[in-house]
Amino acid sequence: APKTVLITGCSSGIGLALAVKMARDKQKRFKVIATMRNLAKRGSLEVAAGAALHKTLEIRQLDVCDERSIRSCITGIPNRHVDILINNAGVGMIGPIECQTIEEMKGVMETNFFGVVRMIKEVLPDMKKRRSGHIVVISSVMGLQGIMFNDIYTASKFAVEGFCESLVIQALKFNVFVSLIEPGPVVTEFEMKVYEDAENSDYSMADPETADMFTNLYLKNSKAIFSSLGQTPNEIAEVKELVGVICAAKPPFRHQTNAVYTPMTALKHADPTGALMTDTFYKMVFKYDTLMHVSLKAIKLIRWQARKMKQGVKMLGFK
Ligand code: NAD
């Protein structure tokens, strides 16, 4: 029988691509419950799903910040039976913390962290009883490595990573798998929303040096990185990527989708004092920032990081 897959945040981006890819699986391995907070935004998903709609793909309302909406969606599924839960819904936030209110910050944690916790709390007891299930979380490379001006977003993804790292061992005892997917930049509405907000915001709450660092250094470099190293939602949802992880007999706990970022996330493990990581990032941002405007050079920089990492590993005597 096909596996029931519930995905959150399917009105756009990775969630939409994944829902469609799984619903149109040639081997018909999945029955997809594609959920979204606002059903008025179902149009793009309906078009992309095509003939799969109402066959292998159903659209349901679910707001990860609203327990009642989660419960009513799960209870509406026959026997509450979800084989694979994909926590995809998320929001971004960039900028100097001086310009962000605590309420706005809490909003990011509510969706990105507590949203995942609420979903898992609702489905895990059933998975444990059945002694089978797979919980997938779309985290980020920023769940492994902080990036300047992404303080709160990174914190929310670190929270998710810590939560899953604790849960995975208990879950395995019940034959329930947990997988964290860690994409680098993905070109979606997410990125556009974040930039749009950033461009329309007022940075006068920050000192001029910080405001300039954000608008001139960070925003420009970050856009260059997205256009040179960014993946598409379809690439993420490809069989060998996400669907591959989901269908593995023994799914991996972590999966990075963009190999270019692996050395970056390994820096801190190579040097437990953190110096290798902070020095590398400091130099990358403040000493070589002009190079970052050119995408090819950005790639060179990341290769340079990889060499630094190898040095670090050698320095510590690891093989
Ligand atoms: P996106 O903005 O296209 O998709 C996010 C979806 O989550 C949207 O459809 C949005 O409506 C939905 N959502 C937000 N709040 C919700 C709520 N309370 N309840 C239900 N749905 C809600 O962006 P995306 O890039 O496809 O993001 C998907 C996931 O991938 C996110 O968790 C994001 O953190 C992660 N991610 C994105 C990138 C990137 O560069 N775009 C990189 C790494 C990880």
CB-based contacts of 252-256 (< 8 A; 24+ apart in sequence): 252/179, 253/164, 253/165, 253/168, 253/178, 253/179, 253/180, 254/179, 254/180, 254/182, 255/179, 255/180, 255/181, 255/182, 256/141, 256/182, 256/183, 256/184
Interface predicted TM-score (ipTM): 0.99
Give 302 or 121, the one with higher predicted confidence.
121
Q: What is the pLDDT of residue 294?
A: 41
Instruction: Determine which residue's CA is closest to atom 34 belonging to ligand 1.
Output: 90
Same domain, yes or no: 246 and 278: no
At position 315, the amino acid (one-letter code) is: M
Residues within a 6 A CB radius of ligand 1: 8-9, 11-15, 36-37, 63-65, 88-91, 111, 115, 138, 140, 183, 185-186, 188-191, 233
- Examine the fold and report which residue of 233, 257, 281 is the final residue of a domain before the chain moves on: 257
pLDDT confidence bin for 206, thresholds 50/70/90: very high
Tokens of 110: 């509510």
Domain shared by 145 and 272, yes or no? no
Q: How many domains does the chain have?
A: 2
| Distance, CA of 298 to CA of 229 (rounded, Å) | 9
Q: What is the pLDDT of residues 157-183, one digit of tens each?
A: 999 999 999 999 999 999 999 999 999
Distance in angstroms (rounded) separating the CA atoms of residues 71 and 77: 10
> Of 257, 273, 303, which residue is a domain's last?
257
Pocket probe for ligand 1: among 7, 14, 36, the residue whose CB has the most ligand atoms within 8 Å is 14
Q: Specify the ligand 1 atom closest to the Cα of 191.
A: 41
For 281, the domain range is 260-319
Q: Which atom of ligand 1 is nearest to the CA of 111?
A: 18
**Which residue type does 98 have?**
E
Is-catalytic flag, 153?
yes
Contact 37, 90 (CB under 8 A): no
